[in-house]
A = this chain, B = another copy of it.
Amino acid sequence: MQKQHSSRKRAVTMRDVAKMANVSQSTVSRVLSGAEESIPIGEETKQRVMEAVKSLGYYPNLYAGSLRGQKTFMIAMMVADIANPFYHPMVRAVQDVAHSHRYDVMIANTDHTRDGEMHFIESVIRRPVDGLILVPYHLTQVDIERCIARTGVAVAALGQHVTHPQVDTVFGNDERAVLEAITWLIQARSHKRIGFIGVTDNFSVGVRRRSAFVEAMRQAELPLPPEMFEYGDWSSESGERAMRSFLSLPQPPTAVFAVNDLMAIGAMEAVQKAGLCTPQDVAMIGFDDIPPATWVRPRLTTVAQHPAEMGHIMAKALFERIQGDYSGPGRRFEAPCRFVIRESA
């Protein structure tokens, strides 16, 4: 028992299999990779090899294969925050599609930061993968271009943030959905002072949803005082903070729209902690329709997206590129948004 520290043990290799089956290592390779179509292998030899594989419990080392210029059988997925339930069905869908292609998925989260996203890109340059699923907030076309140019990787992305000639994207028409929701708030519920909880402007989604909000208010010819705009970091805690700011105003909003459900839920907490009621005192609308939206009381009125479908579409498009079934310009898939009226507004 020498001190081995953390050095890995020698695994079962193809050569071991070859030795046991009394064939050369290349024959083993051919049997396993199913190259028998082009290069014939004797039936009896094949049997011997398969037996040896089974009795040794051999598994190919995928690093070696990928080094030689083959596929890595791995895709990487970059999401902002796996703690946000919105991404769960998406991750799940991607994993399902990947597994059906015998691929593994490596997930990284970026905490909504540019550093996190850059780290991800570097990471897939050092450890190449066959495909990338991105949910980018800060990455620019240049960053993605660099990554594609260096690794030739296939890419699919969520959102309208990036437009790259070789990247397929899936996006919801969130502008229209926001417009619909706010207009409904004004017309059907006759709100006039509506607060907006967004995120900082380096998120293009935030900018877009605020524009839609502003547009709806403009159309109704309602004022847009600056104190009706608060900004958070997508988390429920930040939504709570934002709502507290609203409530400390001499004239708080009578309704609030938050750009995601987590912040809306946090805002509702703040309302209740202040001894007020939703929707009587402050109506609330969120975005995403995550499961907790139906757990809170009152149930959250929100804009439903279809993350599972979005994930599925991205993954499917990605594998079409990986397998060379498609290699044309970046496609754009629109996924529907649906305004869901519950109890909070």
Contact = CB atoms under 8 A, between A and B. Distances in A.
B151 A11 contact: yes
A125 B59 contact: yes
Contacts of A74: 127
A165 to B, nearest CB: 13
A11 B128 contact: yes
Interface in A98-150: 104-109, 122-123, 125-128, 130, 149-150
Interface in A49-75: 57, 59-64, 66-67, 69, 71-72, 74
A82 interface: yes
Interface in A1-48: 3-9, 11-12
A130 to B, nearest CB: 7
Given A88-B83, A296-B296, A8 B69 contact: yes
Given A85-B83, A295-B292, A9 B151 contact: yes
Interface in A257-296: 265, 269, 291-292, 294-296
Given A11-B125, A88-B83, A150-B9, A236 B291 contact: yes
Interface residues of A, number: 63
A128 B8 contact: yes
Contacts of A106: 104, 106-107
A95 interface: yes
A324 interface: yes
Given A11-B128, A62-B126, A64-B67, A5 B92 contact: no
A336 interface: no
A327 interface: yes
Contact of A67 (B63, B150, B297): B63
Residue among A63, A104, A122, A269 with max Cβ neighbours from chain B (10 Å): A63
A322 B8 CA distance: 10
A223 interface: no
Nearest to A60: B126
Contacts of A125: 11, 59
12 contacts: A4-B152, A6-B130, A6-B322, A9-B152, A67-B67, A82-B82, A104-B108, A106-B106, A106-B107, A236-B291, A292-B292, A297-B297
Going nearest first, the 8 A-B pairs with the smallest beta carbon separation are: A9-B152, A5-B324, A297-B297, A83-B88, A8-B152, A63-B63, A106-B106, A62-B127
